């Protein structure tokens, strides 16, 4: 009798996983607003077991992976110079293979290749040009390091982050006393940092950024998440609300222990990968940062550039989390308590982050390094 109940439970879980995999595989978001004026090359997001990329008679043949049963495996054929070629190909939490000739084909067609693991960590970022640092830019970056200009660039990046955080709260977070208090606090921080009334050293800047980030994430805390199908499989009680960004115990394992945090990990990894691609395209050296050092990362400049974009990614993830009804089949828990996304859901998250344009941040910081002053991501003037 126990064995029958166990099999029934396992079959129910497998059925829920397959049902949600198919749901997210066929999910198409409603795009609001006016159509884009120019053609937008969307990324191609692949996931599952058995992903394959190879060249066949001069074309790129791509086979998606297997995530559930039954599933119809999709294959795509791309021709050189096709206007509908993807801007980049992103492989999520997958196994399979890519041939050397396929990598060359992607490089010839200026298509980047990115591989992320199930934690949302970038394993491979292959840029289409493979360009190394531009010598003149490298010298310009070196001349700026540890100067007032480096501080002003850092101040601008944090200023843009706070401004974007305000917009995200206004757009996504429901009206409440906490929301109102957070917006008031963030506007005070934004005014302080915009006026330049901050001591010209990074510790003062980080103090404002840390205070603003804590208030920003508190405005999310305890927002309800909708669920169904909990009679078939239970979920942790903490999953019924948006939790804290920090994980507390066992944080050294770098496992997200909440669905929203797991989605954010993918979102931030996608942003970082895109910034690495953009940086390689212009020849800026990602090993020379302004705020972040090289102790924890070999690309500290990417850690700098991602800051003003984080709230834009948060907006996409939080909008998805609050507007959908999830089931236990959308996530899995490993033996360490880590939350793993259904691969098809991870693909949806990655596609949403494709809507965030990272090119302006790279371009604007490049102008500041060169001493130029132009428009900014969120409308604030760049420091000279």
- Domain extent listing, the chain: 44-116, 135-370
Q: Which helix (H) or strand (E) holds 28?
A: none
Helix 148-172 to helix 202-218 angle (10° resolution) is 10
Rounded to two decimals, what is the model's pTM?
0.84
Q: Which of 334, 330, 319 is nearest to 256 (CA)?
A: 334
* Beta strand 88-98 pairing with 44-56: parallel
Identical fold between 44-116 and 135-370: no
The CATH number of the domain covering residues in 135-370: 1.20.120.920
pLDDT of 131 reads 58
* Tokens found for residue 122: 């970038």
Q: Are 184 and 218 in contact (CB under 8 A)?
A: no
What gap in Å lies between CA 325 and CA 339, rounded to an integer? 17
Q: Are 356 and 317 in contact (CB under 8 A)?
A: no
What gap in Å lies between CA 261 and CA 265, rounded to an integer? 6
Mean pLDDT per block of 10 residues along the chain (384 residues) reads: 39 78 85 46 89 96 90 91 91 92 95 88 80 78 88 93 97 95 96 79 88 94 94 93 69 74 93 90 87 77 95 95 96 88 93 86 91 56 52
Q: Are 316 and 170 in contact (CB under 8 A)?
A: no
What gap in Å lies between CA 276 and CA 285, rounded to an integer? 10
* Tokens found for residue 242: 């948006």
pLDDT of 265 reads 92
pLDDT of 10 reads 45
Question: Is domain 44-116 annotated with CATH 3.100.10.20?
Answer: yes
pLDDT of 3 reads 39
SS3 339: strand
* Tokens found for residue 133: 């640092």
Q: Using omega within 30 degrees of 0 as the cis cutoff, is the peptide bond preceding 206 cis?
A: no
What gap in Å lies between CA 247 and CA 279, rounded to an integer? 31
What gap in Å lies between CA 111 and CA 127, rounded to an integer? 7
Q: Are 51 and 65 in contact (CB under 8 A)?
A: yes
Q: Which of 379, 324, 370 is nearest to 141 (CA)?
A: 370
- Residue in this structure with the two tokens 């196994």, named with its chain if needed: 95
């Amino acid at each position: 009798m126990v064995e029958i109940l166990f099999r029934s439970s396992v079959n129910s879980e497998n059925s829920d996983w397959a049902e949600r995999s198919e749901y997210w595989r066929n999910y198409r978001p409603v795009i609001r607003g006016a159509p884009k004026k120019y053609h937008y090359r969307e990324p191609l997001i692949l996931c599952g077991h058995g992903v394959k990329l190879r060249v066949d008679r001069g074309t790129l043949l791509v086979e998606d992976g297997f995530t559930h049963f039954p599933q119809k495996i999709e294959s795509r054929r791309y021709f050189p110079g096709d206007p509908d070629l993807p801007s980049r190909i992103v492989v999520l939490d997958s196994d399979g293979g890519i041939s050397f000739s396929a990598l060359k084909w992607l490089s010839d067609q200026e298509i980047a290749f990115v591989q992320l693991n199930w934690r949302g960590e970038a394993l491979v970022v292959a840029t289409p040009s493979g360009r190394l640092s531009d010598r003149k830019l490298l010298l310009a970056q070196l001349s700026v390091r540890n100067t007032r200009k480096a501080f002003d660039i850092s101040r601008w990046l944090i200023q843009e982050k706070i401004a974007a955080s305000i917009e995200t709260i206004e757009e996504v977070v429901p009206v409440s006393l906490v929301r109102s208090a957070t917006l008031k606090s963030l506007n005070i921080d934004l005014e302080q940092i915009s006026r330049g009334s901050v001591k010209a050293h990074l510790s003062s800047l980080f103090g404002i950024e840390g205070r603003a980030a804590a208030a920003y994430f508190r405005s999310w805390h305890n927002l309800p998440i909708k669920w169904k199908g909990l009679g078939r499989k239970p979920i942790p009680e903490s999953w019924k609300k948006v939790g804290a960004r920090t994980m507390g115990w066992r944080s050294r394992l770098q496992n997200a222990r909440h669905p929203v945090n797991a989605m954010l990990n993918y979102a931030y990894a996608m942003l970082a990968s895109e910034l690495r691609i953009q940086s390689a395209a212009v020849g800026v050296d990602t090993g020379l940062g302004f705020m972040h050092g090289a102790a924890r990362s070999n690309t500290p400049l990417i850690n700098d550039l991602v800051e003003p974009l984080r709230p834009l990614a948060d907006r996409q993830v939080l909008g998805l989390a609050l507007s959908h009804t999830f089931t236990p089949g959308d996530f899995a828990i490993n033996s360490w308590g880590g939350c793993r996304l259904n691969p098809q859901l991870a693909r949806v998250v990655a596609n949403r982050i494709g809507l965030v344009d990272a090119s302006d941040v790279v371009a604007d910081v490049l102008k500041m390094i060169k001493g130029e002053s132009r428009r900014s991501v969120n409308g604030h003037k760049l420091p000279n």
